[in-house]
Structure 1
Amino acid sequence: MAEYTILLDALTVMIRLGIHAHEAEPQRVAVSVEMTVRYPAPIDEDAIEAVLDYDFVRTGILALADTRRFALQETLCETIAALCLGDERVARVRVRTMKRDVYPDAGIGCEIVRER
């Protein structure tokens, strides 16, 4: 068995997220994903077909930002975690979201960890 950690760090999206009236319009949110991916053996073939193609995570998050509205960061995190765990090779996922513009001096976020 071989384990790899795949990282998508600080993908910034404009998404409708929040419960307040001023959050009706899309706001800037940074999304980070850490996936523990397991393979039967260490990867010795230098080909995308041999590994998890992480483009699906970025594409999935961008699609969520374009099509969904979330009241809670917790719900957004859960939805992204489910997307990642949709690939059976993903054993564990950590998802962090961070609203960048709510406060002038700090971001506000949520982080979850889900395991198979």
Structure 2
Amino acid sequence: MLSSLMHPSLTDCRRLFLRNYEVMINIGVYEFEKKGEQRLLINVDLYIPLAESTPSHDQLDEVVDYDFIRDTIAKLMARGHVQLQETLCDDIVRAMLAHPRVRAANVSTMKPDVYPDCEGVGVEVFKTKETV
């Protein structure tokens, strides 16, 4: 798979990422999934134009802060039970693209404990501001 940085509208961007953010969340369509939380791994890649993410004074307000990613995910999870990973991914992508400096976002979620014979099951979505 080619890197998203190969996308024509992202060649002038840097990638900011959050890897394997482990959360406990109420997610799933089956009755047993609605009775408790499940472990979920979340990965986020944000693409920010270099012109808007290259600090000239080495200050946090010149870039997109990693806390934005984690805080936004926490707020989405606080809304309550989510049936589908697809819904959660779409919600996270929309929230990431709402940041004025973010041009594109790639989000994946994975349930690592569903099947004993595989690493996990999940969903991934990539959107640019042009496709929202």
TM-score by length of 1: 0.91
Q: Where in structure 2 are the equivalents of 1:65-84 lying within 5 Å? A: 65-84=77-96
Equivalent position amino acid for 1:71 in 2: Q
1:13 touches 1:62 (CA, 8 Å); kept in 2? no
* Consecutive unaligned residues in structure 1, runs of 5 or more: none
Aligned counterparts of 2:123 and 2:47: Cα–Cα separation in 1: 19
What is the match of residue 3 of structure 2?
A: none
Aligned counterparts of 1:13 and 1:5: Cα–Cα separation in 2: 22
Equivalent position amino acid for 1:112 in 2: V
Equivalent position amino acid for 2:26 in 1: R
Residue range with higher mean Cα deviation, 94-103 or 34-43: 34-43
| Greater RCO, CA 8 A, separation 6+ | 1
Q: Higher helix fraction: Structure 1 or Structure 2?
A: 2
TM-score by length of 2: 0.81
1:104 aligns with 2:98: no
Q: Where in structure 2 are the equivalents of 1:1-116 lying within 5 Å? A: 2-24=12-34, 25-40=36-51, 42-106=54-118, 107-116=120-129
CA RMSD in angstroms comes to 1.7
Aligned counterparts of 1:10 and 1:66: Cα–Cα separation in 2: 19
1:7 touches 1:34 (CA, 8 Å); kept in 2? yes
**How many pairs are equivalent?**
116
Aligned counterparts of 2:93 and 2:80: Cα–Cα separation in 1: 16
* Consecutive unaligned residues in structure 2, runs of 5 or more: 1-10
Write out the 4+ residue segments of structure 1 that deviate beyond 3 Å after TM superposition.
none
Q: Higher strand fraction: Structure 1 or Structure 2?
A: 1
